[in-house]
Chains A and B, each alone.
Chain A
Amino acid sequence: MSLTHLNARGEAHMVDVADKPESRREAAASGRIHMRPETLALLAEGGLPKGDVLATARIAGIQAAKRTHELIPLCHALALSKVAVDFRLDEAESCVEVTATCRLNGRTGVEMEALTAVSVACLTLYDMCKAVDKSMEIGAIQLESKSGGRSGDYRRDTLESRPAPIVTGEGQAGEVSLGSRCDIASPCIRVKCLAELRERLGVGEIAVPLDSLERSDVAGLKAALKVLDPRFSRLDEGRVLCAVNQVMASDATPVTNEDEVAFFPPVTGG
């Protein structure tokens, strides 16, 4: 392993990429800016003096990605085909998570562009919010994944960035868990949504109190879920299968306390 930006004498130089084959390159980076909960709340409500914070930071990130070669000495100027900057407001951690994805068909990687986009989007967030909070802290700026090129694919090995769950269940990226597991005090049914259905609904697991069911069967459970959260109306879209305690079931199958009910799309194994 050697540093490609150093020549045989150890001097910095720009890598000649003229003879490298073009390939599809993609990189994703992420970072966080921690702030006071009040600042995050103002940001979410759009109540900050400089106006729409996230829209401004998004444009700043995109612009920065395009100008990476002006900032980082040995970076090539690239004709990026895509730059996307996204934000997730994390109230539990009191921070904004910034992610950037860059893509092009070319001879050199785009991870510096993605990292630059995240960095400048974070700096812009700071600038937009500093009137109300000077203690904000930018951190954890890192490459999440890159693909294409000779050095091969890279993916940061954390729970959040794993490509997809093998085991269906708790805490996948971008999904919301509602309620908690059954406790002894209140009889309830544990509901799981699997595979494509989990992603479509944005719900992995939810506990449904037994007394919210008008009828103690799968049809009654579906009705109770729809009252609980409108997203469950999508249980009627397309073919959705159901298993009660891991055995295939239908709308008429009875359910009771502590049952595990799974909804999932048609199977596609083999």
Chain B
Amino acid sequence: MIRVQEAPFDAGTEQQALLAGRTDIGAVVSFTGLVRDFNERPEVTALTLEHYPGMTESALEAIVEEAKGRWPLDAVRVIHRVGRLTPGDPIVLVVVASAHRRAAFEACDFIMDYLKTRAPFWKKEHASDGDYWVSERHSDHADARRWEA
């Protein structure tokens, strides 16, 4: 399941919902990304996430489908927030459930790497000395390329 929303989410609640009624799942891995108070500049006071409605959902769907093709997964949940967020707020949640831990760990890692380089989200950070759009990071592309071998 994929959701793009302004509202906050609770990782625990989402994980419980994913596992409800299932006894065939042996491993669940959850990743939550949070807003940091430092990035390209110190003293980030807030950030605004913009996205491309429509394409965002289909890009996330494609990433999850690709993960399901690579690993035997029982359930996946991806939530990404948009709008104005402040340091400490959760931005993104990826929960992956599988029969075995290795698949769950790797698929969660993969989904985050692809999300960061392929899903149309853009961050504008508000720092004490002004606003700026966040630049892409080469390390994110290097991380994503690990899965192409």
Chains A and B come from one and the same complex: yes
Binding site for B on A (CB under 8 A): 24, 163-168, 194-196, 199, 239, 243, 246-247, 262, 264-270
Pick from B46, B55, B119: contact of A269, CB under 8 Å = B119
Chain B positions within 8 Å of A270 at CB level = 33, 80, 91-92, 112, 115-116, 119, 121, 140
| Cβ-defined contact, B84 with A163, below 8 A | yes
* A contact patch SS: loop
Interface, chain B (partner A; CB < 8 A): 6, 33, 46, 48-55, 58, 80, 82-84, 91-92, 112, 115-124, 126, 128, 131, 133-137, 140
Contact of B120 among A24, A194, A199, A239 (CB under 8 A): A194
Q: Least Cβ distance of A149 to chain B in Å?
A: 14
Across-interface contacts of A167 in B (CB, < 8 A)? 50-51, 53
**Contacts A166-B51, A262-B55: A24 and B121 contacting too (C-beta < 8 A)?**
no
> Which A residues lie within 8 Å of B54 (CB)?
246
The answer for the CA separation of A168 and B83 in the assembled complex, in Å, is 11
Are A24 and B119 in contact, with the CB atoms below 8 A?
no
Known interface pairs A267-B120, A267-B122; 13 further A-B residue pairs with C-beta atoms within 8 A, sorted by A's residue number: A164-B48, A166-B48, A167-B51, A168-B51, A246-B55, A262-B52, A264-B52, A267-B136, A268-B122, A268-B137, A269-B91, A269-B116, A269-B122
Find chain B residues with CB under 8 A from A24 CB: 128
- With both chains docked as a complex, state the minimum distance between the C-beta of A146 and any C-beta of chain B, in angstroms: 14
In the bound assembly, the distance between CA atoms of A220 and B123 in angstroms comes to: 30
Contact yes or no, B83 A267, CB < 8 A: no
Q: Are B55 and A267 in contact, CB atoms less than 8 angstroms apart?
A: no
Complex formed: what's the CA distance from A194 to B80 in Å? 18
State how many angstroms separate the Cβ of B123 from the closest Cβ of chain A.
5
> Shortest Cβ distance from A113 into chain B, in angstroms?
19
Q: Collect the chain A residues with CB atoms within 8 Å of residue B91's CB.
A: 269-270
Whether B136 lies near A266 (C-beta < 8 A) is yes
B124 CB to nearest A CB, Å? 5
- Residues B136 and A164 in contact, CB atoms below 8 Å apart: no
Do A269 and B123 have beta carbons less than 8 Å apart? yes
**Distance in Å: Cβ of B115 to nearest Cβ of chain A:** 5
Docked complex Cα distance between A270 and B115 (Å): 7
Bound complex: CA of A246 vs CA of B61, how far in Å? 13
C-alpha spacing A188/B117, complex, angstroms: 31
The reply to whether B52 and A166 contact each other, CB–CB distance below 8 Å, is no
| Alpha-carbon distance between A235 and B141 when the two chains are bound, in angstroms | 22
Residues of B within 8 A of A163 (CB): 46, 48, 84, 126
- The interface residues of chain B lying within 8 Å CB-to-CB of A168 are 50-53
Known contacts A166-B6, A246-B54; is-contact A269 B80 (Cβ 8 Å): yes
Residues of B within 8 A of A264 (CB): 52, 120, 122
A270 to B120: give the CA distance in the assembly, Å: 10
Assess whether B52 is in contact with A243, with CB atoms less than 8 Å apart.
Answer: yes
For the complex, what is the distance from the CA of A166 to the CA of B49, rounded to whole Å?
A: 6
Chain B residue at smallest Cβ distance from A147:
B45
User: Contact partner of B50 among A164, A239, A247, CB < 8 A?
Assistant: A164
Q: What is the bound-complex CA distance between A88 and B46, given in angstroms?
A: 27
